Amino acid sequence: MTLFKVLVVCSLMTGCGVTEIAVPADSATTSPSVTATTEASTPDVSTGDQPEEIQAWIQGSYAHKIGEPLELDARGSYSSAGKLVKYEWDLDGDQQFDETSTEPMLTYTWDKEFVGEITLRVTSPTGATAIGTTEAMITNDGDSTPYERDNCPEVNNHGQTDYDNDGIGDACDDTPGYPTEDLPGVSEGPAPTPSATR
């Protein structure tokens, strides 16, 4: 995934606009997914005011199990105007904010499957806002395969391996079909003899 840094650029003629700059994520295993937009006031150039920078950032993406608490992390969000005053979270993809807090960490438990985007809106002391999103897969077993396509819907098996192709994943198959005998002409050789030490 890609991290976007948001710059608010202002001029006397056109006011403020938003620029998103793509920055490679630091980690392949925890790649934050951020899409940010802002609303910022036009700076007073006569007083030397600088345009405000504000960014919404969510750690992610997430694959998690229904019924188990998940800690969401938005500590990478910031405003150049000071400490952010509000964090609003849409946790079911309906474009309505479900949780509001003044701190960047939120613990939430889903009671049903959810595959989609978590959306965060942050507000700065000046009233400027930014929005960030990250992907989430909240499933019955906590892996990233939705229930109806999961070959082991009660077992966390990200790989979905099925050695004998019977539609039941190896992680929950009592007879996965692994070979129990050597093929004709294949035999186990003698154990190697350790060399003498000096």
Residues 62-121: tens digit of each pLDDT: 999 999 999 999 999 999 999 999 999 999 999 999 999 999 999 999 999 999 999 999
Question: Computed from CA positions of residues 161, 60, 137, 111, in that sequence, does the dihedral angle turn out positive or negative?
Answer: positive
List the helix and strand counts (H, then E) for the chain.
Answer: 0, 12
Domains, the chain, with CATH or none:
2-41+52-139 (2.60.40.10)
Q: Are 89 and 73 in contact (CB under 8 A)?
A: no
Residue 125, CA atoms < 13 Å, CB-side half-sphere = 6
Residues 19-36: tens digit of each pLDDT: 444 444 443 334 455 545
CA distance 108 to 65: 12
Strand, coil or helix: 20: strand
Q: State pTM to two decimals.
A: 0.59
Q: Are 30 and 1 in contact (CB under 8 A)?
A: no
Q: How many residues does the chain have?
A: 198
